[in-house]
Amino acid sequence: MSELKVQCFSISLDGFGAGPNQSLQSPLGEGGEGLHTWFFGTRTFQRMLGDESKGTDGPDEDFAARGFANIGAWILGRNMFGPVRGPWPDESWKGWWGEEPPYHVPVYVLTHHPRAPLEMKGGTTFYFVTDGIESALAQAKKAANGKDVRLGGGVATIHEYLKAGLVDEMHLAISPVVLGSGESLFAGVDLASLGFQCVEHVPTSAATHVVLRKNPR
Amino acid sequence: MSELKVQCFSISLDGFGAGPNQSLQSPLGEGGEGLHTWFFGTRTFQRMLGDESKGTDGPDEDFAARGFANIGAWILGRNMFGPVRGPWPDESWKGWWGEEPPYHVPVYVLTHHPRAPLEMKGGTTFYFVTDGIESALAQAKKAANGKDVRLGGGVATIHEYLKAGLVDEMHLAISPVVLGSGESLFAGVDLASLGFQCVEHVPTSAATHVVLRKNPR
């Protein structure tokens, strides 16, 4: 059955999914790059950059690859696509990832501002959804055609889906950095009450990978 | 130089140092025992119970042993000694640890309720400090005589010392459990602004050990 999954979501050891003062120049926030060190070293990431000979194998790579396996569509919050709040600043903005984004499937972007679908190279089409998270999920699941839907973030969007009871699984990578402030994944969300338990725990020298599932058998 | 250190402080992967609904019957809160699984297996803990032949060596044991090395005094919050808030319910209450507590040095308990010092077997004496955290630290450092002072918790007490800028180092053990609610170590405290950085990261199958130091060179 098609599930909604958060995958490869990196947080600091104090629970922040992005650092403070995010901006166009610093989309991950201050110190936020350190969250993704484990991912930057993987073969999966290096393949995205075009040279997989540079990447490493091992548990970090296994989780990176799992994050793209059996994914038929993505859902992104507004800020995962564009740099500012408010109306689209410029229709020429095509997201953070250049002409050929790493999704290769339909991507549903939550926003209050309508925009025509944006077809990119390599199979990625951005659809802009203005009628809410449940609509986005229904469209994404239909497009995924039995495969899973990956929820890319950010934290505010994950919170919305968590509180609505719509997330089935979360793979988090806890990185050995302190951010101190920013967007806390755990603030205001009671994962235990929502039914989540840790079902997998794979520590590496770069990050501690945990998989949380809702109401595991 | 004598430092104030938090050591072997176990938190859930969502940042809670104790589970919800702490009580006399459940001093660690619901699900809180799972925080300490890494510690229960160590030779250091088994030695406390009287049979170190049962304990294991390795990185978990190394951190457990470091938590007691070069410690000349402890500071505990009220609830680390007694089960309820308010006046001491009964002078016969001698803490959670029986006749021979595992400290073996002076222990300064923060409280609003005066009580005469309580000398236990094995070198532990509980002193009850009613004039604040700085007084407790001064007394503890004097008693420690050049050794370090370990701050045992709980979360509220750690927060007080952190915000006062008095904590030099924290060793946290992030355990693969979800608590969902309880006492969050990171809520309301900006560790980055306080100068903390992660200087050591040792993941094991039971926990991810991180050492944070303030303004490391």
Residue with tokens 């229709």: A91
Confidence label for A84 from pLDDT (cuts 50, 70 and 90): low
Confidence label for B84 from pLDDT (cuts 50, 70 and 90): low
- Give the list of residues 6+ apart from residue A51 with CB closer than 8 angstroms, or none: none
pLDDT value of position A164: 97
pLDDT value of position B87: 60
Confidence label for B130 from pLDDT (cuts 50, 70 and 90): very high
Domain parsing of chain A, residue ranges: 4-17+26-214
CATH class for the region spanning B4-18+27-214? alpha beta
Best of A12, A60, A178 to disrupt the B interface (most B CBs within 10 Å) is A178
Cβ burial of A26 (10 Å; 0-12, 13-18, 19+) is middle
First to last CA, chain A: 16
d(C-alpha A90, C-alpha A121), whole Å = 20
Mean pLDDT of all residues in chain B? 92
Best of B6, B9, B12, B14 to disrupt the A interface (most A CBs within 10 Å) is B14
Percent of chain B with pLDDT over 70: 96
Confidence label for B82 from pLDDT (cuts 50, 70 and 90): confident
Asked if pLDDT for residue A86 goes beyond 60, the answer is no
Mean pLDDT of all residues in chain A? 92
Any A CB within 8 A of B73 CB: no
DSSP designation for A83: S
HSE (side-chain half, CA atoms, 13 Å) at A158: 31
Q: CB A125: neighbour CB atoms within 10 A? A: 16
Confidence label for B81 from pLDDT (cuts 50, 70 and 90): confident
- Identify the residue with better confidence: B79 or B195: B195
CATH code linked to domain A4-17+26-214: 3.40.430.10
- B14, B184, B185: residue with CB nearest A191: B14
d(C-alpha B142, C-alpha B136), whole Å = 10
Asked if pLDDT for residue A85 goes beyond 60, the answer is no
Q: What average pLDDT score do residues B133-144 get?
A: 98
B15/A191 Cβ within 8 A? no
This model of the complex carries an ipTM of 0.88
pLDDT value of position B116: 93
Confidence label for B49 from pLDDT (cuts 50, 70 and 90): confident
